[in-house]
A and B are shown apart, each in its own frame.
Chain A
Amino acid sequence: MKATVLVRPKHGILDPQGQAVETSLRQLGFAVGEARVGRVVDLEVESNDPAGARAEVERMCEQLLANPLIESYEIELAETPGD
């Protein structure tokens, strides 16, 4: 299966990168409220069982992909074509 992990700065955590992006977008004339910058990790997981794959990716997030002090994460799963 394919897994996409979205890692975001937690709500309420100052995000200077997002602020810089927000300022730049405004300078370009775009009307934006708040911008926040996170990270996307695309993974191919060997398991074809959605529940098992999700549990495994969750462990990856807890152990490495996100730092729970400052980041939250979301996992999206999709079947690999041809499976």
Chain B
Amino acid sequence: MTSPQPRIGVLRFPGTCDDRDALWALAALDAEAIFVWHTETRLPDLDAVVLPGGFSYGDYLRCGAIARFAPALEAVAAFAAEGGLVLGICNGFQILCEAGLLPGVLRRNESLSFVCRDVPLVVERTDTPFTSRCDEGERLTIPVKHGEGCWFADDALYDELEANRQIVLRYAEPVNGSRNDVAGVVNERGNVMGLMPHPEHAVDPLLGSADGALILSSLVEAARDRALAAV
């Protein structure tokens, strides 16, 4: 029996702009990737969900604050509650934080400037479905492009996240003022992750780096395991 292609949904909101790159990258890494429109109240049969980057609903009020009320997001919350794999990239990360599926909040960059460049990252944890193909302490180069990527948690929350090992990626240099250079976190259960860098923009050396493929192929592999387990 050949291993099945996992089915991964890419959520689209009005204002999403990295959906095609995410779809392309996941397909290139051997997943069956399909779009899911924000008005869907039920998700199709999926092995994982990706919330891509962009400016959902114009990012009015606070980034991600409106998108969290989209019908499809309720379906994503139910999917996550059952242990489904969810990855939020950039605006997707902001939405998951606003929805309470991930800890903390993304604020305006400390510099007040939009940051758009390749950044060095350090992998803090490899026992997650999103980083299994990385080595602990490995340095990755993945681009960021955001104006509101400054992750914040108060002291009590931050200590709790450290104790639970929920910090998965850190910037290896200051990028946006994020607390303790946090670039990516998981929920306590470990099935929902958010990160500000864009792995879907770094899946081929022609793009400057293929390190993003390590994150996305970890997800594809974990989704495939779930698909196999469900057969």
Contacts and interface: CB of A to CB of B under 8 A. Distances in A.
Please indicate whether A and B come from the same complex rather than being unrelated chains.
yes
A43 interface: no
B188 to A, nearest CB: 17
Interface stretch (B77-85, B100-108, B133-141, B211-219): B100-108
Contact of B104 (A14, A20, A69): A69
Interface string A19-34: 0100000000000000
B187 to A, nearest CB: 16
Contacts, number: 29
A16 interface: yes
Given A14-B177, A16-B177, A67 B110 contact: no
A46 B61 CA distance: 22
Contact of B112 (A16, A65, A69, A70): A16
A47 interface: no
Size range of the interface on B? 10 to 19
Contacts of B177: 14, 16
B57 interface: no
A64 B110 contact: no
B210 to A, nearest CB: 34
A17 B112 contact: yes
A67 B64 CA distance: 11
Given A17-B108, A20-B112, A69 B61 contact: no
A8 to B, nearest CB: 14
A69 B152 contact: yes
Interface of B: 61-62, 65, 69, 98, 104-105, 107-112, 152-154, 157, 177
Contacts of B69: 64
Nearest to B104: A69
Nearest to A71: B62
Nearest to B66: A64
B111 A70 contact: no
Given A16-B110, A16-B111, A16-B112, 9 more contacts: A13-B152, A14-B177, A17-B112, A64-B69, A65-B61, A69-B152, A69-B154, A69-B157, A70-B105
A65 B154 CA distance: 20
A65 B61 CA distance: 7
Contact of B65 (A17, A20, A67, A69): A67
Nearest to A9: B107
Contacts of A69: 104-105, 152-154, 157
A64 B111 contact: no
A64 B105 contact: no
Interface string A42-66: 0000000000000000000000110
A43 to B, nearest CB: 13
Kindly list the 3 A-B residue pairs having the minimum CB-CB distance in the complex, ordered from nearest.
Answer: A69-B105, A16-B112, A16-B110
A10 to B, nearest CB: 9
7 contacts: A14-B177, A16-B108, A16-B110, A64-B65, A67-B65, A69-B157, A70-B107
